[in-house]
Amino acid sequence: MSINDVDCSIGPYNDTALKCSTSGVYNKPITIQELNKIWNENKCPEAFELAMNTTQTDNYCKLQYNQKSSCRQQDDIKNLFNAYLQSCKIDSDSNSLECNEFQQNLINLCVNNGLPGICGYFLGGKIGEGCEGYPDIQGYCTSKSRSEVLNSKILSSLCGCYVEPDPVYLNYTLVTPDCLIGGPNCRSCNGEEQLQEEICVGNPACDPLCRSSTTSQKAYTPNGNFITCPQNICVINDVKINVVNSTINNGINFNSICGGCDTTSGCLCVISGVNVSQTMSTIGVGTLNNFCANSICLEDGATIGVPCGDFNPVNGTFPNFQSSVNIGITFLLVTLVIIILVICITVRFTHITTK
Q: Model confidence over 169-222: pLDDT tens digits?
A: 888 888 888 999 999 888 888 655 555 555 788 899 988 889 887 899 999 999
Same domain? 11 vs 127: yes
| Pair 279, 153 in one domain | no
DSSP 8-class letter at 100: H
**Can you give the pLDDT at residue 1?**
36
Q: Has residue 168 been placed in a domain?
A: yes
Question: How many independent structural domains does the chain possess?
Answer: 4
> Does residue 313 surpass a pLDDT of 80?
no
pLDDT at 173: 83
In tens, the pLDDT along 152-163 reads 989 999 999 999
For residues 134 and 157, state if they share a domain: no
Last residue of a domain, one of 225, 245, 272: 225
Do 17 and 87 have their domain in common?
yes
The helix/strand/coil state of 6 is coil
pLDDT category at 321 given cuts 50, 70, 90 is: very low
Q: In which domain, by residue range, is 128 found?
A: 1-139
Residue 203 lies in a domain: yes
135 shares a domain with 146? no
Q: What mean pLDDT comes out for the span 306-320? A: 60
- Is position 315 within any domain? no
* Listed residue (178, 77, 74) closest to 132, CA to CA: 74
pLDDT at 347 over 80: no
Query: What is the pLDDT at residue 232?
Result: 79
- Please tell me which of 100-114, 176-190, 261-275, 314-328 the model is most confident about, judged by mean pLDDT: 100-114
User: For a pLDDT cut of 90, what percent of the chain falls above it?
Assistant: 32
Q: Residue 246's beta-bridge partner residues?
A: none
- Distance of alpha carbon 232 from alpha carbon 113, whole angstroms: 20
> Helix 32-42 crosses helix 44-52 at what angle (to 10 degrees)?
60
Beta strands in 151-229 (DSSP E): 174-175, 201-202, 219-220, 225-226
What pTM was computed for the model? Answer: 0.72
Does one domain contain both 135 and 146?
no
Q: What does the pLDDT look like over 70-120, one tens digit per residue? A: 999 999 999 999 999 999 999 998 899 999 999 999 999 999 999 999 999
How far apart CA 120 and CA 339 sit, in angstroms, is 70
Q: Are residues 92 and 196 in the same domain?
A: no
- 58 & 122 share domain: yes
User: CA torsion sign, 311 to 316 to 318 to 323?
Assistant: negative
121-180 tens-digit pLDDT: 999 999 999 999 999 999 999 999 988 998 898 999 999 999 998 888 888 888 888 999
Which comes out higher in pLDDT, residue 310 or 317?
Answer: 310
Summarize pLDDT for 4-63 with one digit per residue, the tens: 444 555 454 567 888 888 865 555 678 999 999 999 888 899 989 988 988 776 666 778
